[in-house]
Amino acid sequence: MKIPSEIKIGGIIYSIELIDEKEDDIHTTEFIGRVIFKDNKIKILNSYKPERQFRTLLHEIIHILDEDLKIGFEENGICRLETGLYQVLKDNNLIKD
């Protein structure tokens, strides 16, 4: 699973950065991925295996859609949707390894 360097969501291009944990000194809480809305950027830790990085990318995409479409998901719902979407994509060979 290759993580692209950018992705278009809702007409906006978001850059995707794989970063080291020490590079994110703005936030102190533990995370695997994060959206920086003001910079149109998605950050994902590179210390995780590709499968986890891809699932994290799905998770952050859902956060962006939730924000843009004013859906109102809570974090638990986003986690569940990410897991379900990933499994559908994987089971139907829609993810390229």
pLDDT at 1: 78
What is the domain extent for residue 54?
Answer: 6-91
Q: How far is CA 55 from CA 19, 26, 38, 61, 87, in A?
A: 16, 23, 23, 10, 10
**DSSP 3-state assignment of 6?**
strand
- Domain-embedded: residue 56: yes
* Domain assignment of residue 97, yes or no: no
pLDDT digits (tens, 9 = 90+) for 2-58: 899 999 999 999 999 999 876 655 555 568 999 999 999 999 999 999 999 999 999
Residues 48-67 have pLDDT tens digits of 999 999 999 999 999 999 99
Within-domain flag for 65 = yes
Q: Which helix (H) or strand (E) holds 83?
A: helix 75-91
Q: What's the total number of domains in the chain?
A: 1
Please state the pTM of the whole predicted model.
0.90
Does a structural domain hold residue 32?
yes
Pairing between β-strand 12-19 and β-strand 6-9 as defined by DSSP bridges? antiparallel
**In a domain? residue 68:** yes
pLDDT in tens, 61-86: 999 999 999 999 999 999 999 999 99
Evaluate whether 65 touches 37 at the Cβ level (below 8 Å): no
Pairing of strands 41-45, 6-9: unpaired
Kindly state whether residue 31 falls inside one of the protein's structural domains: yes
